Chain A
Amino acid sequence: MTRLAVDWTRCDGHGLCARLLSESITLDEWGFPILTDAPVDEDAARTAVSVCPALALRIEHPARTA
């Protein structure tokens, strides 16, 4: 199971990720990505991470709570 997460302090709304992963990432009216909760394909997720010019995407491992 692979999930993507955005570091919102880095993302500047290039929208490349949405073009790459159009099934799981859309853009809001201001151009920032909307990630769905649905797990995404591992390889596609890795590509998105590597292509994000702002280094804002990461692959999320099961969240710790506290």
Chain B
Amino acid sequence: MTVTDPGTLPALFPATPPLLTLGEPRLLAAAPPAVPSRDRAWLVHAATDVRLLGRGGAAFPVARKLASVPLGARVLVNASEGEPASFKDRALMRHSPDLVVAGIRLVAAALGSGRPAVVAVEDEPSAQALAQAAGRAGAELDVRLTRHGFVGGEIGALVNGMEGRAPRPDGRRVLPTERGLAGRPTFASNVETFAQLALLSALGPAGYAAVGPAHEPGTSLTTVLGATPVNGVVEVPHGTALRDLVGHDDGPVLVGGYHGTWAVPTGARVSRVELRERAIGWGAGVLAVLPADTCPVAEVARVTDWLAEASARQCGPCVFGLRAVADDVQALAQARPVDLERLQARVGMVRGRGACHHPTGATGFVASALTVFAEDVARHRAGHHCGRADLGVLPTTHTTGGVR
């Protein structure tokens, strides 16, 4: 594993966690490769060849998104990283801003975007790094500091927030490819997607596919935390055994983040496609393992409460349902009697009933935790608190930094 010195930052902002690479660093390479410009057809074909999936939570095929916007479309880079357990986007921007900027320029030029690409970012050091990289490249980039939090990082909410409306998802979902920035068709994707496209242009499809399995070549950034052999942001080739990243695969692992899934991922590898077949979403690329001396029920309860608070307070089932679920899990954590069947029914009831993915993602987190930690849950429910404290392994304070 290669360890890269993340450098130091003003104390106001959280330091970049250790940067690590399994195999040859690409995204985290010391110097960015030359990124030739390409036309849209080239990018669509190349992204199809390497089956590139978007690096936000939804893992949508990039080629299809590129092909679905008209020429002249706007470009929106989602670098808001509202997921408190994730640091990979900030690590990428702080460490490899030139690669990110090269990817943004590549896409904007291929789409014949008339206006500068917009980057929505919460982390000031990342914003500064991108602005400086844009200066070095002589590129025009519209870097905007946003403060919209977890749900506000949803593309529709992001656009609303940047255009002076409430930073909340729309009631009727409109695809940004149809109506995004300034009501124009917009290619919007997670910041890592743009860096991947830069690599794809630099390496060509064959070079890009020299790493990872044929059905999903390349590398991904992941944030690894908790009782794992290493903690930090890791660039990992697809196909790597999860065991090699987190130390085990025969015990509970949180995959994806707080919209993700608790699983015992026996034999699983880093692959969005393979994990999806196991009903596990790669999501924001977080991998977490709880140490034996923290109470898993209390950790899950604290995150669930955070998720209920993160609701954008628009949709009844999300607002009231997630609150009720969070209160139930909190009661469990305190070994108070809880009607587990009712809790499970509530979890099922909230799923899918909101304007955005939040209720589905949040209840997926809770439902999988109740399954994976069933023994601990049963003991707590029977009034036997395990006696362990909540050590706060799963972060719930927003680590973006800066003054809020």
A residues near B (Cβ < 8 Å) are: 7-13, 28-32, 34, 58, 66
Contact = CB atoms under 8 A, between A and B. Distances in A.
Nearest to B60: A66
B349 A7 contact: no
A33 to B, nearest CB: 9
A12 B65 CA distance: 35
A12 B68 CA distance: 35
Interface of B: 60, 64-65, 68, 168-172, 175, 177, 314-318, 320-321, 324, 346, 349, 353-355
A11 to B, nearest CB: 6
Nearest to B323: A30
A9 B317 contact: no
Nearest to B65: A66
A35 to B, nearest CB: 9
Q: Which 6 A-B pairs have the closest CB atoms?
A: A8-B315, A9-B171, A7-B171, A30-B320, A32-B316, A9-B314
Contact of A8 (B64, B68, B316, B349): B316
A8 B355 contact: yes
A58 B173 CA distance: 13
Given A28-B349, A66-B64, A66-B68, A8 B321 contact: no
A10 B169 CA distance: 12
B320 A9 contact: no
Contacts of A7: 171-172, 355
17 contacts: A7-B171, A7-B172, A8-B316, A8-B318, A8-B355, A9-B170, A9-B355, A10-B171, A13-B316, A28-B317, A28-B321, A29-B324, A29-B346, A30-B321, A32-B320, A32-B353, A66-B68
Contact of B354 (A8, A10, A30, A31): A8
Contacts of B68: 66
A32 B355 CA distance: 14
B172 A12 contact: no
Contacts of A11: 315-316
A55 B281 CA distance: 34
A30 B171 contact: no
Given A32-B353, A66-B175, A66-B177, A8 B320 contact: no
A18 to B, nearest CB: 13
Contact of B316 (A12, A58, A66): A12
A11 B319 CA distance: 12
Contacts of B324: 29-30
Among A9, A10, A30, A58, find the residue whose CB has the most chain B CB atoms closer than 10 A: A9
A13 B320 CA distance: 11
Contacts of A13: 316
Contacts of B316: 8, 11-13, 30-32
A32 B318 CA distance: 10
A34 B349 CA distance: 9
A66 B179 CA distance: 13
A32 B349 CA distance: 11
A30 B64 CA distance: 40
A8 B353 contact: yes
A31 B353 CA distance: 13
Given A7-B171, A30-B320, A66-B175, 9 more contacts: A8-B315, A8-B318, A8-B355, A9-B171, A11-B315, A11-B316, A13-B316, A32-B316, A66-B65
Contacts of A29: 324, 346, 349
A7 B64 CA distance: 28
Contacts of A31: 316
